[in-house]
Amino acid sequence: MTAGAPALAATGSSATAHAAPTSTLTAGHQLTAGQSLTVASGEYRLTMQGDGNLVEYTLDNVPLWSSRTAGNAGARADMQGDGNLVVYSSANKALWASNTNAHAGAYLTLQSDGNTVVYSNTNKPLWAAGTNIVVGGSNDYPYANSSIDVSDGAGFLTRECTSFVAWRIRHNLKIADFSNGWHGGWFGHAGTWVANARNLGLVVNSTPAVNSVAVLPAGVDGAGSMGHVGFVLGVGNGTVDVEDYNYADSYDGYRYYSYSRHTIATAGLSFIHFR
């Protein structure tokens, strides 16, 4: 990878912007270890960590996005003159990039809505982390009062955990075409989500993040024989706050096929990162 050529694919989504820029990194400037962009309210910051990872955090230190370049102490983030935002190692090896080269004068901004965006010099969004995505936390699932286990139109069964999480992916993550057969794969029941996600090239690991999908293997924390999936609302110290369907706990009066929110330990869980 060279500074002027396309680099690693960006983790974020299409660059859609909704708020005026509040903090910027202009062409020819960089973030070195310990430096940050921070919105005026202090609610969001983008930090070049000492471990080499470029991470956006909320005020409560919840990670929203990262370049996934940890393990490279001394790395820096360069907003290059050609328009490419690149994380370089201390040995000047390109580790991650926004792939926005050929846009001289582009700049990086952390917006007041929490979205990290690379804009052209004419203020056209070129890349975004997608961190202005609305986090869930309410029962806005459109099939909440439907019959149980009928088609939801996306290849899942209504009021099951998979149908609810699929709705979150479409509605919150703005992946409008997400379905059971998305990109030629087959998500099926919760127990097959991890394998299918990996086959599709999605990042699957043991590191939770807001807006990721938590996958519980069968028997873990009350998951049934086919496992369970939930949508991550928050990340704690060894725990995650999730929302889901068909997970009978005290939140919903131990009723199956209904909405719930709860905190579970991360041990033994996998997390699928669609963004």
Measured in residues, the chain has a length of 275
**Following CA atoms 19, 67, 78, 31 in sequence, which dihedral angle do they give, to the nearest 10 degrees?**
80
Indicate whether 22 pLDDT > 50: yes
Query: Over the stretch 148-194, which tens digit does the pLDDT of each residue have?
Result: 999 999 999 999 999 999 999 999 998 999 999 999 999 999 999 99
Higher pLDDT, 251 or 59: 59
Please tell me the CATH code under which domain 161-273 is placed: 3.90.1720.10
Angle ∠(203,206,207) on CA atoms, nearest 5: 80
Query: Over the stretch 222-270, which tens digit does the pLDDT of each residue have?
Result: 788 899 999 998 887 788 888 999 986 555 555 688 888 887 888 899 9
Determine phi and psi for 107, rounding to 5 degrees.
-140, 160
- pLDDT over 70 for what percent of the chain? 86
Region 86-102: mean pLDDT is: 96
Question: Of the CATH numbers 2.90.10.10, 3.30.70.2740, 3.30.70.890, 3.40.630.10, which one belongs to the domain with range 21-128?
Answer: 2.90.10.10
Note the pLDDT of residue 9: 29
- For the chain, where do the domains classified as CATH 2.90.10.10 start and end? 21-128
CA–CA distance, 5 with 7 (Å, rounded to integer): 6
